[in-house]
Structure 1
Amino acid sequence: MVDTTNPVSEIPEGSAWGYLASVDVGRIAVTSGDSPEIYPVNFCLDGESIVFRSASGSKLETLALNSRVAFEADSWADEGGWSVLVRGTATLVEDADELARVAKAPLRTWVPTVKKNWVRVVPSQITARRFAFGPEPRA
């Protein structure tokens, strides 16, 4: 039975990392001028940061101009779902030792394209919620 009195609950930040670790696709939101853009990315966690690979192009050009980003991942099934929103700063991984370490991460590209760039999102704020699905209650 779905609890219609409280179908949305907060997930503590410490637990949010476990939720993020359970999926491998999320969305990175960037701002280009006055226009927000959202890109799907496959990702993995590296400590308490998110890393993904990217080809050169508009996503990286936008991040060079404005490193403030939002990242979201979620999952759902018939009975409910969850969503984790990470606000933070994205930077290109350039240190040789760090590149060697993240290159060993269990992250493979979605599509057969060359993606030599690694991007790290360091959170400044994490919010997460769990949702219990069910019929809309009567007013």
Structure 2
Amino acid sequence: MSDDLRPVRILPETECWDLLSSCSLGRLVTSVDGAPEIFPVNYAVQRRTVLFRTAEGTKLVSTAINRNVLFEADGHNTAEGWSVIVKGLAQALSTDEDIAEAERAQLLPWTVTDKPHYVRIRPVSVTGRRFMFGSQPDRTFTAV
């Protein structure tokens, strides 16, 4: 069976970055008080890193305390879907140079709130899958 017809296909890293660059809403997974937490964030891809903005609060504190994070984004149409996961290290940007570079991404908050802090996720690994939608295949049951 050709790779294009397989119901689940593992994506090369370059395609993962192309897909991440094609959308702007994902989920940040981190740890808060020793328990996993997930936060929706709007983001931008900049130099093969994930960049998001946040206000003071749980996201900013949790990424400072536990830099190891996951980031996931996905998309779909009527025929297929995809999912990309970035395992990485989160860092709040603090130097004028880093902040100036982040501002060039033109990442605006979606809500009418002040989100003055930029956080960059530097990837340790990037994985992705594409899923073909369709009916469940017929099963053949045999008696043993």
One fold, TM greater than 0.5? yes
Superposed counterparts of 1:26-65, under 5 Å: 26-65=26-65
Superposed counterparts of 1:1-139, under 5 Å: 6-139=6-139
Alpha-carbon separation, structure 2, partners of 1:64 and 1:31: 11
SS at match of 1:60: helix
- Structure number, greater radius of gyration: 2
Q: How far did 1:104 drift?
A: 2.3
Letter in 1 for 2:37: E
Alpha-carbon separation, structure 2, partners of 1:92 and 1:34: 20
Alpha-carbon separation, structure 2, partners of 1:71 and 1:14: 17
Residue by residue over 1:50-105, the C-alpha shift from the partner in whole angstroms, topping out at 9 and shown as x without a partner, is: 10000000111111110100000010011001110000000001110110121121
The number of aligned residues is: 136
Stretches (4+) displaced over 2 A: none
Give the root-mean-square deviation of aligned CA atoms.
1.3
SS at match of 1:61: helix
Alpha-carbon separation, structure 1, partners of 2:58 and 2:66: 12
Percent identity for Structure 1 against Structure 2: 38
TM-score between the two structures when normalised by the length of structure 1: 0.93
Alpha-carbon separation, structure 2, partners of 1:32 and 1:58: 8
**Structure 2 stretches lacking a partner, 5+ long:** 140-144
Letter in 2 for 1:120: R
Alpha-carbon separation, structure 2, partners of 1:106 and 1:135: 42
